[in-house]
Structure 1
Amino acid sequence: MLKIMYALITYDDLVHSHGISGLSEKSYDHHAILKVHFVAETDKGIVFSALVDDNELLQFKSLSMPLVNVSYKIIKNKKPPRRPISTSLKSMKKYHRTLNNLTMSEKNWKQFLDPKICILSQCYY
């Protein structure tokens, strides 16, 4: 099951991991980190979000450094949109496009991220 992880990595640990992109294809707390996205830079380190999945099938190597303020977000499926009143080609294309983006995947996971202000206010200040 895909989840979103928010965490902070200190500057010292960031050097050892060769940047936040070096966290991809590693495991942390039995979760495989699939993709990583930069959120903000603070005085303590770098805040990032990551797409994670269970590590049982993937068997990624464990991350050797600790992460700070780790939180996970489970995404529930969105409600399907109502059918458009107008049956024009443009409105039908938009309707089918939104139907395809109701569940989180590796391709569209960034649209499910919380706003940057929310991430920073909840966990890091």
Structure 2
Amino acid sequence: MDIMYAVLPHGKNMPITNLHGLHYQQYQIVKTKFIGDVSEGTVFAALIDNTNGYFANVDVIQNPIIAKKLTRRCTKAFKDCASENAKRKHFRKQNNLVLTEKNWKQFVGKRNTVLANYQTLLLDR
């Protein structure tokens, strides 16, 4: 599973939730998350899964970027935590190191960062 960022043009009059289950190249769109609106359309993040050779193009998606697979690593040892809240957060991070269908939204980039990356991408074209 990976995360893809893309733009859904305004002229398509289609909510991003309608993309669930559709295929883009060799990937199936499992879930979507709204990021923001730009002049070209709606920027969204999608959880995608490789469909092993099934190729079908969805012509509504523009400028897709498939993000590198990220795993989180906690390097600090929390043996002497100051609070119970810090211990709880550390425990949760240690148990959510792999991207899954249940926890994928925490691996989506920050809204302003994704929108800034799209603006620079569109200016470079």
Q: TM-score, normalised by structure 2?
A: 0.79
Corresponding residue to 1:36 among 32, 36, 47? 32
Deviation at 1:100, TM superposition (A): 0.8
Structure 2 match to 1:12: 11
Please tell me whether the aligned partners of residues 81 and 98 of structure 1 are also in contact (alpha carbons under 8 angstroms): no
How many angstroms apart in 2 are the aligned matches of 1:89 and 1:41?
39
State the match for 1:49 in structure 2: 45
Task: Note the 1:45-124 alignment, pairs <5 A.
Answer: 45-56=41-52, 62-86=56-80, 90=84, 92-124=87-119
Query: How large is the RMSD of aligned CA atoms in angstroms?
Result: 2.5
* Distance of 1:32 and 1:48 partners within structure 2: 15
Aligned to 1:9, what secondary structure does the other structure show?
A: strand
CA contact (8 A) 2:24 2:56 kept: yes
Paired-residue identity, %: 25
Unaligned 5+ residue runs, structure 1?
Answer: none
Question: Could you tell me which amino acid in structure 2 is paired with residue 29 of structure 1?
Answer: Q
Deviates more, 1:32-41 or 1:112-121: 112-121
Structure 1 length-normalised TM: 0.79
Q: How many residues align?
A: 119
Shift of 1:49: 0.6
Deviation at 1:33, TM superposition (A): 0.6
* Deviations 1:19-64 (CA, angstroms, capped at 9, x unpaired): 110001111011111100011112221111101110128x6x9454
